[in-house]
Amino acid sequence: MQAYCFKCKAKREIKNAQGVTLKNGKPATRGMCAACGAKVFTIGKAQP
């Protein structure tokens, strides 16, 4: 699973990915950037 890292300014793999649900009921994934360790977040269902 990848997400855009604002610190690296590139799409990076998500480390320690966790599935979460937003207030409106939509699925999302959050975790850490594998390259720099910054928090990353993406909306949409997690892919295996």
pLDDT in tens, 6-44: 999 999 999 999 999 999 999 999 999 999 999 999 998
List the domain boundaries for the chain. Answer: 2-43
Beta bridge partner(s), residue 11: 4
pTM for the structure as a whole: 0.79
The pLDDT value given to residue 45: 75
